[in-house]
Homo-oligomer: A and B are copies of this chain.
Amino acid sequence: MRGNLFAVAVDLVVLTVRDGELCVLLLERTAKPFAGEAALPGGFVRPAEDLLDAATRELVTETGLEIGTHHLEQLASYAAPDRDPRGRVLTVGHLALVPDLPEPAAGGAGCAWHPVAKVDQLAFDHAAILADGVERARAKLEYTTLAAAFCPEEFTISQLRRVYEAVWGTLPDPRNFSRKVTTTPGFLVPTGERLNAGRGRPGQLFRRGPATSLHPPMLRGDE
């Protein structure tokens, strides 16, 4: 074994959709490096702990979310020699997609949702990690059913469509969008109930189906 050792951390890009905007969970740093600046939630990997376990643990402790219900995947690793002034730290970025929460963040203080479009500066190289996470999410909406991960347990097609609008910035046609998601087998499971949103005709409520991939994919207009 070599003598040049690394500290290994996991950082989380936790995304949600609030009020039609794509938001990321950020916390204000209190510790020494980059104190006072915003940063992604994260922490060091413990001994005898795997990466996904560490990310799950951080997700639960930082946001108070239940375990297992939400989407969590590895993004990429970042290990530029000068990315941390304290020394050699490799961080494994993770992407989490969660529905809009009643309480912003039950975890520590200074933990809050920020619209991704308004984030300007972050500690360390977290801006690059965030950009990679957002791009991954955008790409995955094209060929997976992952948009439903942003929705609550039961949701209407309109709510699902607004997820695409928030993540992509483009608003798909309601009729064509409805046709696409309802004809994809296993994407949506109707509950038989309807949601009265106050205005207009109530929409049918759906639950997430077993399907995970979209064939053919749903392409966003721009590029």
List residues of A whose CB falls within 8 A of some B CB: 1-2, 4-8, 44-51, 74, 76-81, 86-90, 92, 213, 215-217, 219, 223
- Contact between chains at B81 and A50 (CB < 8 Å): yes
- Contact between chains at B80 and A77 (CB < 8 Å): no
A88 and B47 CA atoms in complex are apart in Å by 8
Residues of B with C-beta under 8 A to A90: 6, 8, 90
Contact of A7 among B1, B78, B81 (CB under 8 A): B1
A7 and B88 CA atoms in complex are apart in Å by 11
A53 and B7 CA atoms in complex are apart in Å by 19
Residues of B with C-beta under 8 A to A46: 4
Residues of B with C-beta under 8 A to A223: 213, 215
Residues of B with C-beta under 8 A to A2: 7, 44
- Contact between chains at A219 and B216 (CB < 8 Å): yes
A8 to chain B: closest residue by CB? B6
A89 and B85 CA atoms in complex are apart in Å by 23
A88 to chain B: closest residue by CB? B47
- Contact between chains at B50 and A1 (CB < 8 Å): no
Contact of A50 among B44, B80, B89, B216 (CB under 8 A): B80
A216 to chain B: closest residue by CB? B219
A73 to chain B, nearest CB (A): 10
Q: A76-B74, A215-B223, A219-B215 are in contact. Are A87 and B47 (CB under 8 A)?
A: no
- Contact between chains at A86 and B6 (CB < 8 Å): no
Q: A79-B51, A223-B215 are in contact. Are A7 and B7 (CB under 8 A)?
A: no
Contact of A79 among B1, B50, B213 (CB under 8 A): B50
